[in-house]
């Protein structure tokens, strides 16, 4: 009956978690936010079923955001994004040489810190675009703003990150 929920969850599991984590900074609370969101969706599944497929993903992300914000307000959780969002630096296929590897780890740490310094709206769009795989259209739908605005925020965020890293390395 509500298989769409599970399939949507499976498809966006990581993205939803990263997004909730970027708001709350605590993995357990992020999972609670997702659970609460899906419980709400479950209760209002008849209304959601009427929704067009393309709007479903932004809607679910918005639910998760609302639940995360609710939890954040309830617990006044002091978050530091970099402590929760990332595990460790991922080695890619073109594994760098040892000296470069050290530098890359440094960059990763700086990047974490730089992400923390972003404005909330900028961090949000980076997480949605980069880690949750949403399009600007979907991110705009979720944030109830235009895709153009989301794209502008994203560009601004990248420039800020770039400048932060430029200044450090």
Partner 1 sequence: MSLNESRSFQSSDVESLLKQMKLRGPSDQLDVVISNLVANDEFAERSVAGGIQFGWTAILATAAAAMLAGVLVGYSFAPISEKVSGSDVATVDLNSSDSDLTSVAFNVKAFNLLHGHSQLAEFDNCNQCHRKVADEDATLKEVFQGWFYGDEHFFESHPDGLADCSKCHVAATVEKDEFAKLVNCSDCHAVDVDGFEGFKRDWHTAASSSEG
| Residues within the interface to partner 1 (CB under 8 A) | 1-3, 5-6, 9, 13-14, 17-18, 21, 27-32, 34-36, 38-44, 47, 59, 62-63, 66, 69-70, 73-74, 76, 84-90, 92, 100, 103-104, 107-108, 111-112, 126, 130-131, 155, 158-159, 161-162, 165-166, 169
Minimum distance from residue 40 beta carbon to partner 1 (Å): 5
Cα gap 1→43, rounded to integer Å: 13
Smaller CB distance to partner 1: residue 89 or 147?
A: 89
Minimum distance from residue 27 beta carbon to partner 1 (Å): 6
Q: List C-alpha distances in Å: 57 to 7, 43, 142, 150, 168.
A: 11, 17, 8, 16, 37
Minimum distance from residue 159 beta carbon to partner 1 (Å): 7
Minimum distance from residue 152 beta carbon to partner 1 (Å): 13
Smaller CB distance to partner 1: residue 121 or 130?
A: 130
Instruction: Please state at what angle helix 3-24 crosses helix 53-75, rounded to 10 degrees.
Output: 40
Nearest alpha-carbon partner for 67 in 43, 51, 86: 43
């Amino acid at each position: 009956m509500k298989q769409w929920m599970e399939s949507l969850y499976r498809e966006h599991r990581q993205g939803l978690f990263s997004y909730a984590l970027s708001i709350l900074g605590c993995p357990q609370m992020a999972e609670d936010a997702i659970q609460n969101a899906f419980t709400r969706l479950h209760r209002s599944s008849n209304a959601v079923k009427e929704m067009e497929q393309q709007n479903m993903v932004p809607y679910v992300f918005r639910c998760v955001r609302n639940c995360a914000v609710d939890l954040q307000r309830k617990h006044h959780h002091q978050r530091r994004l970099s402590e929760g969002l990332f595990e460790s630096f991922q080695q890619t296929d073109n594994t760098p040489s040892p000296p470069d590897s050290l530098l890359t780890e440094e960059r990763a740490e700086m990047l974490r810190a730089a992400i923390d310094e972003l404005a909330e709206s900028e961090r949000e769009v980076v997480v949605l675009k980069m880690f949750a795989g949403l399009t600007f259209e979907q991110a705009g739908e979720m944030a109830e703003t235009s895709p153009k605005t989301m794209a502008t925020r994203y560009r601004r965020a990248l420039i800020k990150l770039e400048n932060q890293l430029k200044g450090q390395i």
